[in-house]
Amino acid sequence: MLVAVVVPAAGHAAPTPQLTTTPQVTTPGATTPSATPLTAPVASPHATPVVGTTPDSSTTPGEDRLFQAETAKEVLVRFKPGTSTTTRLSLIEQAGGTLDQMLSLDDTAVVDMRGSLSDALHWFALQSQIEWAEPNAMVQSAATLNYSQGDPFFTKQWALDNYGNDGRVFDADIDALASWYATKGDGATVGVVDTGVDASHPDLAGQLASAGVNFMPDGHATVADGSGHGTHVTGIIAALENDIGIVGAAPTSKVEPLRALDDTGAGTSATIASAFAYAGKQGLRIVNASLGASAPSKAVLDSIAAYPNTLYVVAAGNAGVNIDNGGGTNYPCAYDLPNILCVGASDDHDQPAAFSNRGTTSVDLSAPGVGIISTAPGNAYRYESGTSMATPFVSAVAAQIARLNPGWTAAQIRMQLIQTVDQPASLRGVSFTGGRVNAARAVGLFAGPDGQKPATVTGAVGTAGVGSATLIWQPAASIDLAVYSVESLKGSSWTVESIVETGTTVTMTGLTPGVPVSYRVRGIDRSGEEGDPSATVTIVPTAAGGEGSKTTADPKTTATTAKTATKAAAKGAGTATGEPAGTTSSTAVLSSVKRTRSKGKVRAVSFKLSAAGQVTVTAVPQSKRSAAQSVITKTFTLAAGTRAVKFGSGTPALRLKKGIWKITLATKSSKVALKVAIR
């Protein structure tokens, strides 16, 4: 039976088309359709439910899953432009199918097949009027582990601004607060292709650009979210700054909810392609797609390629594999298009999330995606982890860029995101950039210790062992040192031999006795900036029972001159008094470091000092406003007990201008850093 071709307008009933006869092109032996004009009832865009194979019960959390919809016998067919309605219907009937619906993607139909799916695909492939045909495969959201949280606070949102509390690594965040000095989104709209949204959530009230569009064939009149996935993603982007719950990364932006996944988090190529195409036609500049499938879809590919001025920010997937070599490939992440940005997940230690897919050609960058708190249906909040959570952070930053640069193309926004990442050593090799999104840099603000690389490593000495070499050096002065890179000389070039995350010593084993080896060490900070290398240290490993030898280009620095090296390091850090760090009591340990407030504003940093000694305080501007003031370093001699450094008048004090600052407090034996917003 022939069914009228229907192109539903978004959110409205489609008119019944008038079908007339046109010249037909048929295959040999095919039945020629009747020349009589045809009419038929208008097909509902939600008439046929999507049916997929049941997920295997052994599927583990964190896997992206695609289920071929063989039991549904649904095929996506892309007709060549200009193919008439009658010809399309004729071809569908000859293939043994009936039209279910036309998609927002031009010239593309969902066809219900009565016979073999593989036979139908083969037949469609032979027709000159067909661009392509493929199964209407299922797509899964890219979330993984989740657990409830009933007491949410902004301080739990480590991804926006990580102060290093609760065992986290300082500054392993997107520097959202600093970026807000430029824009908080200010009305930019992000299309969220997901499970819908709880529009009644108080943290999302007024944050939706419209009532949204439902592309799922389930008959729902709204985009109500029965899963919670879409609501969680939406909150990460645009939750209100309203003194309740959480705040989104771009809290004055808007979200256009496009429901293309059902209440189980599953959709099809048809629903995703429809939502993508709709977003492009509406002129949305940013689309968030926290979803993925393990097989490609021409419908989805075409729906992205057709709208080059829309940036589609997509999830890398949660299989925990390298997808460059085809293993566990995730789509649309794997499509090579200039308006796709693929996002992997990092944790609060700036380590790649164990579940996150990676790949130096497939994945573009990382964003926080572990233990992310956001909105949940029913006026609730919950933590979730996954590349689904990482993706909306990047979409929010993309919206900020788009708002500040209305004339930029999707490719320009994508390049800005790529070129402004933080590059901690821990994320090297997991994506194209080897970095994590940084909102403040992306919007053109000074966002941290850029241009302040670690001081040169001094005091490097080596000791030979049996087939081994041990290297020891003095700490490099740096406001946010991340790791040390130990390099070895191989031929005429230096290569990284080891990354040392804690301590200032490393032992290399498996060396050939009697063969000299040369090493040098450099510090790398959390922004990926590298200090100059130490002097070269050459070590000759010994054989069993033999004696080793060592040489170093820095013979003055020995155990007896360690204090001098420490003093030089302190000078490199900018200690105001010039006093050697060795004069500080080794028992002066910092603890209970916290911001102290008055009338809702941070006025000082308080701390406990276990013994009398010197405390060096360094203030580094982290925002455009505070960058008008230079880095400030002062050293105070303080008595033991609870002490405070004020940010205005008083003693001791740093006179700091308004803005975001990174405050580092250091004694000889301890160092603590935190971010402070002075308003």
Q: 560-603 pLDDT, tens per residue?
A: 333 333 333 333 333 333 333 334 455 777 777 777 877 667 78
Whether 34 is catalytic: no
Answer yes or no: is pLDDT of 345 > 80.
yes
| pLDDT for res 250 | 95
* Coarse DSSP helix, strand, coil percentages of the chain, rounded to the nearest 5 percent: 15, 30, 55
Concerning whether 388 is annotated as a catalytic residue, the answer is yes
- Is 157 in contact with 174 (CB distance < 8 Å)? no
pLDDT band at 497 (very low <50, low <70, confident <90, very high): confident
DSSP 99-155: EEEE-SSTTEEEEEESS-HHHHHHHHHT-TTEEEEEE--EEEE----EEEESS--GG
Q: What pLDDT shows up at residue 327?
A: 65
pLDDT at 625: 64
Among residues 102, 60, 111, 107, which one has the least CA distance to residue 82?
107
Confidence of residue 298 (pLDDT cuts 50, 70, 90): very high
The answer, yes or no, to whether residue 491 has pLDDT greater than 50, is: yes
**Averaged pLDDT of the chain:** 77
Beta bridge partners of 258: 193, 213
Which pLDDT score, from 0 to 100, does residue 451 have?
58
Task: Summarize the confidence of residues 15-27 as an average pLDDT.
Answer: 23
Q: Name the fold adopted by 1-43+73-135.
A: Alpha-Beta Plaits (3.30.70)
* Residue 526: band (very low, low, confident or very high) from pLDDT cuts 50, 70, 90: low
pLDDT of residue 554: 41
Identify the residue with better confidence: 602 or 324: 324
Tens digits of residue pLDDT in 221-240? 899 999 999 999 999 999 99
Report the b/e string of 111-126 with b at 16+ CB within 10 A: bbbeeebeebbebbee
Residue 552: what pLDDT? 45
Q: Which has the minimum average pLDDT: 120-134, 186-200, 444-458, 571-585? A: 571-585
Q: In this predicted model, what pLDDT tens digit does every residue of 365-392 receive, in sequence order?
A: 999 999 999 999 998 999 999 999 999 9
What is the model's pLDDT at position 642?
A: 87
The arrangement of secondary structure in 574-678, i.e. its CATH architecture, is Sandwich (2.60)
The residue annotated as part of the active site, out of 388, 426, 485, 623, is 388
141-442 and 461-567 agree in CATH topology: no
Q: What is the pLDDT of residues 432-442, one digit of tens each?
A: 999 999 998 89
The CATH code for residues 461-567 is: 2.60.40.10
Q: Looking at the predicted structure, is the pLDDT value of residue 305 above 90?
A: yes
Residue 457 CA neighbour count, 13 Å, CB half: 31
- pLDDT band at residue 535, thresholds of 50, 70 and 90? very high
405-416 residue pLDDT tens: 999 999 999 999
pTM (two decimals): 0.62
Distance of CA 612 to the CA centre of its chain: 44
Single-letter residue type at 574: G
Higher pLDDT, 614 or 671: 614
Output 653 or 393, whichever has higher pLDDT. Answer: 393
User: How many whole angstroms separate alpha carbon 206 and alpha carbon 197?
Assistant: 12
Strands 74-79 and 372-376 come out as unpaired
Lowest-confidence segment of 298-312, 511-525, 563-577 by average pLDDT: 563-577
CA angle 414, 416, 418 (to 5 degrees): 70
Q: For the chain, what percent of residues have pLDDT higher than 70?
A: 76
Beta bridge partners of 507: 470
Q: Which of 227, 229, 422, 480 is catalytic?
A: 229
Q: Can you tell me the distance from the alpha carbon of 168 to that of 279, in angstroms, rounded to the nearest whole number? A: 38
Q: Are 225 and 199 in contact (CB under 8 A)?
A: no
Confidence bin at 549 (pLDDT 50/70/90): very low
Checking if the pLDDT of 143 tops 90, the result is no
DSSP for 453-502? PPPPP---EEEEEBTEEEEE-PPPP-SSEEEEEEEEEETTEEEEEEEE-S
- Is the pLDDT at 352 greater than 90, yes or no? yes
Task: State yes or no: pLDDT of 12 exceeds 70.
Answer: no
Question: What pLDDT score does 667 carry?
Answer: 84
Q: What pLDDT score was predicted for residue 141?
A: 66
* Dmax (CA) of the chain: 103
Average pLDDT over residues 533-556: 68
Sign of CA dihedral 113, 119, 124, 127: negative
More confident residue, 220 or 559: 220
Q: Where exactly are the structural domains of the chain?
A: 1-43+73-135, 141-442, 461-567, 574-678
pLDDT at 569: 34
Question: Which single residue is written with the structure tokens 């080596």?
Answer: 462
Residue 628: predicted pLDDT: 65
The answer to whether 603 touches 636, Cβ cutoff 8 Å, is: no
Q: Tell me: pLDDT of 528 over 80.
A: no
Residue 163 — pLDDT band, cuts 50, 70, 90?
Answer: low
User: Among this protein's residues, is 46 annotated catalytic?
Assistant: no
Fold of the domain spanning 141-442: Rossmann fold (3.40.50)
Mean pLDDT comparison of 275-279, 513-517, 521-525, highest-scoring range: 275-279
166 or 72: which carries more pLDDT confidence? 166
Q: At what angle do helices 298-305 and 269-281 cross, to 10 degrees?
A: 10
Between the two ends of the chain, the Cα-to-Cα distance in Å is 70
